[in-house]
Amino acid sequence: MELAVGEIISGKVTGITKFGAFVSLPEGKTGLVHISEVDQSYVSNIRDHLSEGQEVKVKIIAVDENGRINLSIKKAQPRPASERRPFNNRSNNGGNVAGKNTGYPQRSGSRKPQRPISGTYAAAKEVPTSFEDKLKHFMQDSESRMADIRRNTDKKNGSRRRK
């Protein structure tokens, strides 16, 4: 029986390290479950979740060119209902983007907060609309950042520019 990526099989935990657990698989093969693949929540101590000799269901997530097998316990388990997102649910109007209903709730902001890097750029500035305005804004911002970098580099090197 050849082990294939995506297959869910059962195995026995044979060893535990601080970075993961080794699981014995059929045909005498061994795979590694990384600590990040043990549970849906954050795992600081793997021994709180697994013990040697424990039977576990694992999913094969990768087999590299050296024959090492990467396994996941959390992907072998069904996702909790709280983490499932609806797929093409037309009754959910929260994902209405430009007249299209995606079925997903619309985010109320970007993932990373927008903050100015240099003092010359104010977060409250109006965003340019045309390409030329955007390009002009980008070039001004870029020149300002490069001047800051040059100034800081000159301070570290102990050199000054002469006028």
pLDDT score, position 59: 92
* Res. 82 pLDDT band, cuts 50 70 90: low
Looking at residues 59-82, what average pLDDT do you find? 85
pLDDT score, position 159: 62
pLDDT score, position 15: 93
Q: Which residue(s) pair with 9 in the sheet?
A: 58
pLDDT score, position 123: 46
Domain extents in the chain: 8-72, 116-156
CA-to-CA distance for 108 and 49, rounded, in angstroms?
35
- Beta carbons of 161 and 154 less than 8 angstroms apart: yes
Pick from 148, 125, 152: which is nearest to 136 by CA? Answer: 125
User: Tens digits of per-residue pLDDT, 89-112?
Assistant: 555 555 555 555 555 555 555 555
Helix, strand, coil shares, percent, the chain, to 5:
25, 20, 55
CA-to-CA distance for 120 and 47, rounded, in angstroms?
51
Looking at residues 68-97, what average pLDDT do you find? 69
Q: Residue 59 phi/psi, 5° resolution? A: -110, 135
pLDDT score, position 132: 83
What's this model's pTM, rounded to 2 decimal places? Answer: 0.49
User: Where do the DSSP E strands lie in the chain?
Assistant: 8-16, 20-24, 30-34, 55-63, 69-72, 96-97, 100-101
The single-letter code of the amino acid at 57 is K
User: Tens digits of per-residue pLDDT, 135-151?
Assistant: 888 888 898 888 888 88
How many CA atoms are closer than 13 Å to the CA of 116, on its beta-carbon side?
11
The single-letter code of the amino acid at 139 is M
* Res. 85 pLDDT band, cuts 50 70 90: low
User: Where do the DSSP E strands lie in 3-138?
Assistant: 8-16, 20-24, 30-34, 55-63, 69-72, 96-97, 100-101
* Res. 163 pLDDT band, cuts 50 70 90: low
Least confident of 35-39, 71-75, 89-93, 130-134: 89-93
* Res. 127 pLDDT band, cuts 50 70 90: low
> Is domain 8-72 classified as CATH 2.40.50.140?
yes
User: Tens digits of per-residue pLDDT, 25-66?
Assistant: 988 889 999 999 998 889 899 999 999 999 999 999 998 888
Question: Tokens standing for 26?
Answer: 């059929």
Angle at 77 between CA 11 and CA 52, to 5 degrees: 35
